[in-house]
Amino acid sequence: MSATLSAREKKKLDDRHEKILEELVKQPGNSACADCKASGPRWASHNLGIFLCISCAGIHRCLGTHISKVKSINLDTWTPEQIQNMINWGNANTNQFFNPHPEKHPIPLDSKYANSLRCNFTGKVREANLKLLF
């Protein structure tokens, strides 16, 4: 679809998407980061349908795109399907679905620790895969 859009049409679509995202991120539930509850998230995982702060977005990037696909609300280009997923889910629905009892399964709030832990894990797996190859 994007291939058939003119530059002006594409700009219009991008503007519309950004407007929708800016509206969504103000809504209760979305106005705080899905993971750490920091206010005013500017990032999102479009496959999970959640809004994230920059620190948690970094953690999600480390998880790999097979788990979480991270985009900036206003710096990246979005497809209509990705926007629709954000509308369908949102922080409250997604957290309810994946983690209905946060008191029993808290998300690690120390993002620095979680970040290095997850990145190191990903790095170690890559390293192991490389060793198998050579």
Per CB under 5 A, residues contacting Zn ion are: 33, 35-36, 38, 53, 56
Q: Closest CB to Zn ion among 24 and 36?
A: 36
CB of 93 to Zn ion, least distance (A): 17
Q: Closest CB to Zn ion among 13 and 44?
A: 44
Q: What is the DSSP string of 11-32?
A: HHHHHHHHHHHHHHTTSTTTSB
CB of 120 to Zn ion, least distance (A): 20
Angle at CA 52, nearest 5°, toward 48 and 55? 125
**Side-chain-facing half-sphere of 27: CA atoms under 13 Å:** 15
CB of 119 to Zn ion, least distance (A): 16
Cβ contact 56:35 at 8 Å: yes
Q: Closest CB to Zn ion among 40 and 80?
A: 40
